[in-house]
Structure 1
Amino acid sequence: MDKLRDFLKSWPGRILLVLCLSPLALLGVESYFGGSTDPNQIAQVGEASVGLSEYQTAVNSRRSEILEQLDDASLLNEDVLHTQVLKGLIDRTLLEQQAGKLGMTVSDDTINRLLRREQIFQDANGEFSNVQFANFLRQRGMNKEQLFAEFRNQLSLDQLNASIVGTAIYPMKAVNQLIDLQLESRDIWLHRFNWQDYESQVTVTPADIQAYYDANQDKLKSDAMVDLAYIQLSPATIQIDEVTEEELQQQYEAYKQGLAVVDERKLSQILVTGDDAKARADSIKARLDQGESFAALAKKESDDPSGASGGDIGRFNPSVFGSDATAIETALQGLSVGEVTAPIKTNFGYQIFMITEDNGSQIPSMDSMREELTAQAKEYKRQTIYADKVTAINDLAADGFSIEDIAQQENVALKRIEDYRKDNNTSVLSQPSVIKQAFDEFTIQDQAVTSGIEVGLGTVWAQPSNYRPTQTLTLAAATPVITQTLLKQKASALALKDAKQIAANIKTVADIAKQPVDFQALGEVSRQTTLLTDKERSLAFSKQAPEDGVVALASETEIGASVLVGDRIETARQSQLSDNEKAQTAAIIRDNLGQDQLQDYLDYLRLVYKVEINEANMAGAQVQ
């Protein structure tokens, strides 16, 4: 299958796999269980309609699918999304009506048999369960008749679809011919004539410009543009202070919680209070160091009720010690069972602890994880500050502050893009979501700051000004564009003339070196080569060379003109694909042809059933 995948990535393979929005994308099983018809119509299709709620549900579902595949949500083009979803819903409605008109239906017995096979309705023994079936209907607010009607409609739709898509024919002979094309190769010699080299030899007169303008005036339009001021914020730009021990402790506790374990150390303590607490604690610690029993000293010296039981306080729980937890945790680090801490000054007095049991030795100590915890604490702090800053900027934008005021108040760099285009946008903010908000009618009208737009790993806020709508260019405004276009056309014509003269003089490989221009020897190339431009690639295999010579071909190309010299076209004797892979390739081709047939059939149905779109409801749904 690797060879099949490689083929499908090749030049003919890509031709076969042109992606299109198929109405089948909206013919899924989830449609069996849709709700009632929405009285607010998006479109009237014959005698049926597409409801507002149905449309919004489909948009949300499709958006979620796309966003799962995108790393940057700002790359989603909402206008295209809404257009494609509406087309899919209309296509489905057209097919549903046609299926009904053709009498395509399914009996109750067939539906019963299919439903009994559905796993969702089966019990633990794989048998159909009336209880589960009833629960399913109750959860969806449907009765059996409604479910059968939806199921029958879907199956009828599937029948009609299969009768169109499944009838596409593409013989294996044609498949083999396509495969042979991508196996073709030949030696190529190339020389390119750049049109700029001929620019000084041509002139463009006012009459030429006027004639071009008169013939192409409808195409000579300015781009819709604004001047854009914007600020951009990302977590990476947030500066943070050093993290505290308390913040490290929080990350450590979160780490332990993530492991679903608790601190298994059991402790005993001796607490001493009063004015002489420090001196008493030091004396007790000295006696412990000399080998006296911790439990005995706790009973005799501790001012805490736990002293009666030898100081036992159970498992270590940081929350019990409040602000003293970090100091105690630090003192306990590295201690083994039976070892004692130095006296610790806490809010209770002076405390001495001994670890009596430790069943949590598998948990790394906080000190051993300090570097990792520090990085996590910094990132948590950075993300928190970033989220707070995004909220603050959004609030300022909603309150009507200008982008300049927001940038100054939040200490964020203000950036500008002049002539920010609605179409053919190649700026640093070319994402569809940014363009959509920058050219929003109300944003332009109020010259308001947009809400935060998520772009990659950050957020952008923009304020458009000086809006210039699309309009037909005047002759004066169009003259520079026309002049450049005509210069290239005339210069390319001269380049092509020279290219043809060179090509006419080449009959053999030896003739290549006799020409007044240098040729680049590309060696053996195939139709998938990246050494040639698109036009050159199509030219390179357009004509076979004679048995004892080469063929020289000249053509106008993207850069001016090119001469390609090729020897005999050879085809690999044996296909790289197995018979099974060829059959799968044929199936892919037939499916694509079937989809084309389906689109043709839908175009026909649009002539049969009147389709009217409610533009007002459509516009309202798109802004939600």
Structure 2
Amino acid sequence: MDKLRDFLKSWPGRILLMLCLAPLALLGIEGYLQANTDPNQIAQVGEASISLNEYQSAVNARRTEILEELPDASLLNEEVLHEQVLRGLIDRKLLEQQAKKLGMTISDDTINRLLRQEEGFKDESGEFSNERFSNYLRQSGMSKDQLFAVFREQLSLDQLNASIVGTAIYPMQAVDKMIDLQLESRRVWLHRIDWKGYTDKVSVTPAAIKQYYDTHKESLKSQAMVDLDYIELSPATVAVPKVTEEDVQQQYTAYKQSAAGADERELAQILVTGDDAKKKATDIKAQLDKGAKFAAMAKQYSEDPTGQQGGGIGRFNPSVFGKDAGAVEQALQGLKVGEVSAPVKTSFGYQIFTVTKDDGVKVPSLESMREALTAKAAIYKRETAYADKVAAINDLAADGFSMQDIAQQEGLKVITLKNYTKDNNQTKLSQPTVVNKAFDDFTIHDQAVTTGIEIANGTVWVQPNNYRPIETLTLEKATDTIRQTLLQQEATKLAVQQAKAIAKTIKTPADITKQSVAFQALGQVTRQAPQFTDKERGLAFSEAAPKDGVVALVAETETGATIIVADPIQTQTESPISELQKAGTAATIRDILGQDQLQDYLEYLRLIYEVKINDKNMANARGR
């Protein structure tokens, strides 16, 4: 197993894992190879096709991968997931065909040579083992030809990848320059002017609103929205029956079964069967009570094969006795070494037990665990009640009951969210899973109650109504939005004018304190200073300052205008970054540039190989 594990860490092992066990991550592309193709196509890419089975397998694998990283399953955006997987599969088909067209292939001799170098396929003497290789193929469910085909295809893609990504160039001189820029610093004073302070100085006329509307009419769209009714349920709000003594006993039995390995007592048994089994067991027990040796009696009377060895059955394991485990446990309770139990009726017959060895480890008594068992029983009952309630509401939703009817029957409150939007949703139910269900075509058309949607703290059911699709706003509906936009634009112009007027009067650090507005002294800062917005960060080092003076810079921002006053730029004489770190930085940048080149190349391939997507099959695959 260790050698197999090492093999899976090697290049052929990783290839096989990627192709056979998980979504293929090739250059940021998620794909998934399938040996068998489904006649129902999702897409045709040049001469290759993407089957429904291939697509669904890739989606499921990618979904599983993402859910392992997400704290809340409702945060998964199914629309984005499907789009990314489809694009990944198409990208892979494009690259596969181009690699074949360019003659990029790997010979059997090369694959054989690489496989023979793998430690996982070598025997104890270090030689390639055909037996280990054959065992691996059997475990993988692949023939040698299939394995070679998989490797050849992947290595051909690697060749094409290297020829695209590997050509990216980012010289060390550029790295040095970039590092030098990051090492620059200067003293900075900052003042921001809010456009809202100038709104009383501007006005927006109806003519200006009309002109803006006529110019931007096509971009003035309403949002898709519904009025959303919903009910929610969480484990904490479910009514739970009180914990009974039977519940506690069940938890104790379950505990003993799970902790059976903690009971170190070793047992022997005598088994008798037949119509007179009860009488025979009673007679045997009487003889044992009078001093008969248990092992001798087992050899003479036990009908179990263990009788010939004195009846020894090892440690007690409740699972062996199934539904009779409780009766056996009761008979064994408190038995010490050499003591004999009363006859116990089980599905095997009548059994008599004795303890042959006891290392002293005992299962705690019920009373000593009562508090913990009661708490566990309460949790179990709550989880069960919650699951039952979720199932009951799902059944009502499936039967076509309205939200109001379901709420009334289940004792829940209907909550309504007015103007629930598909995009930029900021409500309590902004999770992508909920939004997608609320705007599902079927749900909207039938105004149906969805099945339960799991969110972080429970489950919700939603019912959309009053659907308003995206549409171009009328002048009347767009007026308020346009007025606000124009008001901000005009007020921002005044803020910028004021900022420029102030900046003109600042030539030295002493001038800063003479202004009617207060500047914030940030001290010596670098380009990474957290006090800056992105726009301000670029402005702060955009111009040099006179040797004994300062430079005052102005920029329009989202909130109005910013004035940045800065003295001459200083650069550290020694870089804290080693040559090795510089080389690593250059390599990282080259990889990023290479990925950009790859995306450009994929766009080029889309011009060469026609891509057709079967929208109907795609909709079916997405459950629409």
Q: TM-score, normalised by structure 2?
A: 0.79
Question: Would the alpha carbon gap of residues 323 and 224 (structure 1) be closer, same or farther in structure 2, given more than 3 Å must change?
Answer: farther
Question: Would the alpha carbon gap of residues 146 and 403 (structure 1) be closer, same or farther in structure 2, given more than 3 Å must change?
Answer: same
Q: Which residue of 1 aligns with 2:432?
A: 432
User: 1:336-384, CA deviations, whole angstroms, 9 ceiling, x for partnerless residues?
Assistant: 999xxxxxxxxxxxxxxxx999644465544444443333222222111
Long gaps (5+) in structure 1: 1-20, 268-302, 339-354
Instruction: After TM superposition, list the pairs within 5 Å mapping 1:332-347 onto structure 2.
Output: none
Aligned-partner residue type, residue 448 of structure 1: A
Instruction: After TM superposition, list the pairs within 5 Å mapping 1:463-482 onto structure 2.
Output: 463-482=463-482
1:423 aligns with 2:426: no
Q: CA deviation at 1:491?
A: 0.4
Q: Which residue of 2 aligns with 1:38?
A: 38
User: 1:25-73, CA deviations, whole angstroms, 9 ceiling, x for partnerless residues?
Assistant: 4578x74xx3133322222222222222222211111111111111111
Instruction: After TM superposition, list the pairs within 5 Å mapping 1:352-431 onto structure 2.
Output: 359-361=359-361, 363-431=363-431
Instruction: After TM superposition, list the pairs within 5 Å mapping 1:36-75 onto structure 2.
Output: 36-75=36-75
Distance 1:389 1:265 in 2: 43
Q: Which residue of 2 aligns with 1:248?
A: 248
Q: TM-score, normalised by structure 1?
A: 0.79
- Name the SS for the 1:562 alignment partner: strand
Percent identity, aligned pairs only?
Answer: 62
Q: Which residue of 2 aligns with 1:206?
A: 206
Q: Which residue of 2 aligns with 1:544?
A: 544
Distance 1:620 1:207 in 2: 49
Instruction: After TM superposition, list the pairs within 5 Å mapping 1:13-28 onto structure 2.
Output: 23-26=26-29
Q: Which residue of 1 aligns with 2:532?
A: 532
Question: Would the alpha carbon gap of residues 80 and 123 (structure 1) be closer, same or farther in structure 2, given more than 3 Å must change?
Answer: farther
Conservation of the 8 A alpha-carbon contact between 1:500 and 1:554: yes
1:96 aligns with 2:99: no
Question: Would the alpha carbon gap of residues 360 and 246 (structure 1) be closer, same or farther in structure 2, given more than 3 Å must change?
Answer: farther
Distance 1:497 1:212 in 2: 23
Conservation of the 8 A alpha-carbon contact between 1:266 and 1:316: no
Conservation of the 8 A alpha-carbon contact between 2:260 and 2:316: no
Distance 1:26 1:124 in 2: 39
Question: Would the alpha carbon gap of residues 505 and 126 (structure 1) be closer, same or farther in structure 2, given more than 3 Å must change?
Answer: same
Distance 2:59 2:88 in 1: 11
Q: CA deviation at 1:581?
A: 2.2
Instruction: After TM superposition, list the pairs within 5 Å mapping 1:227-246 onto structure 2.
Output: 227-246=227-246
Conservation of the 8 A alpha-carbon contact between 1:222 and 1:471: yes
Aligned-partner residue type, residue 434 of structure 1: V
1:601 aligns with 2:601: yes
Q: CA deviation at 1:430?
A: 0.8
Instruction: After TM superposition, list the pairs within 5 Å mapping 1:102-501 onto structure 2.
Output: 102-118=102-118, 127-131=127-131, 133-134=133-134, 143-261=143-261, 263=263, 306=285, 309-310=288-289, 359-361=359-361, 363-501=363-501
Aligned-partner residue type, residue 611 of structure 2: V
Distance 1:265 1:133 in 2: 45
Distance 1:524 1:124 in 2: 64
Distance 1:27 1:67 in 2: 15
Distance 1:509 1:155 in 2: 63
Conservation of the 8 A alpha-carbon contact between 2:262 and 2:361: no
- Name the SS for the 2:261 alignment partner: coil
Conservation of the 8 A alpha-carbon contact between 1:264 and 1:316: no
- Name the SS for the 1:69 alignment partner: coil
Question: Would the alpha carbon gap of residues 311 and 560 (structure 1) be closer, same or farther in structure 2, given more than 3 Å must change?
Answer: farther
Distance 1:133 1:495 in 2: 75
1:511 aligns with 2:514: no
Question: Would the alpha carbon gap of residues 166 and 570 (structure 1) be closer, same or farther in structure 2, given more than 3 Å must change?
Answer: same
Q: CA deviation at 1:307?
A: 6.2
User: 1:166-214, CA deviations, whole angstroms, 9 ceiling, x for partnerless residues?
Assistant: 1211112222222333333333222211111100110000111011111
Question: Would the alpha carbon gap of residues 50 and 123 (structure 1) be closer, same or farther in structure 2, given more than 3 Å must change?
Answer: farther
Aligned-partner residue type, residue 393 of structure 2: I
Deviates more, 1:304-313 or 1:542-551: 304-313
Conservation of the 8 A alpha-carbon contact between 2:243 and 2:377: yes
Question: Would the alpha carbon gap of residues 327 and 572 (structure 1) be closer, same or farther in structure 2, given more than 3 Å must change?
Answer: farther
- Name the SS for the 1:223 alignment partner: coil
Q: CA deviation at 1:569?
A: 2.7
Question: Would the alpha carbon gap of residues 410 and 181 (structure 1) be closer, same or farther in structure 2, given more than 3 Å must change?
Answer: farther
- Name the SS for the 2:450 alignment partner: coil
Q: Which residue of 1 aligns with 2:348?
A: none
Question: Would the alpha carbon gap of residues 320 and 441 (structure 1) be closer, same or farther in structure 2, given more than 3 Å must change?
Answer: closer
Q: CA deviation at 1:260?
A: 4.5
Q: Which residue of 2 aligns with 1:523?
A: 523
Question: Would the alpha carbon gap of residues 399 and 325 (structure 1) be closer, same or farther in structure 2, given more than 3 Å must change?
Answer: farther
Conservation of the 8 A alpha-carbon contact between 1:245 and 1:326: no
Question: Would the alpha carbon gap of residues 450 and 27 (structure 1) be closer, same or farther in structure 2, given more than 3 Å must change?
Answer: closer
Conservation of the 8 A alpha-carbon contact between 1:221 and 1:472: yes
User: 1:289-328, CA deviations, whole angstroms, 9 ceiling, x for partnerless residues?
Assistant: xxxxxxxxxxxxxx99856644999989897696999999
Distance 2:387 2:179 in 1: 54
- Name the SS for the 2:86 alignment partner: helix
Question: Would the alpha carbon gap of residues 117 and 53 (structure 1) be closer, same or farther in structure 2, given more than 3 Å must change?
Answer: farther
Distance 1:229 1:126 in 2: 69
Distance 1:168 1:316 in 2: 65
Conservation of the 8 A alpha-carbon contact between 1:23 and 1:89: no
- Name the SS for the 1:261 alignment partner: helix
Distance 1:266 1:143 in 2: 49
1:562 aligns with 2:562: yes
User: 1:368-419, CA deviations, whole angstroms, 9 ceiling, x for partnerless residues?
Assistant: 4444333322222211111111111111110111111111211222211100
Distance 1:231 1:133 in 2: 57
Distance 1:585 1:187 in 2: 28
Q: Which residue of 1 aligns with 2:585?
A: 585
Question: Would the alpha carbon gap of residues 252 and 505 (structure 1) be closer, same or farther in structure 2, given more than 3 Å must change?
Answer: farther
Distance 2:54 2:192 in 1: 56
Distance 2:244 2:472 in 1: 63
Long gaps (5+) in structure 2: 1-23, 268-281, 295-314, 339-354
- Name the SS for the 1:210 alignment partner: helix
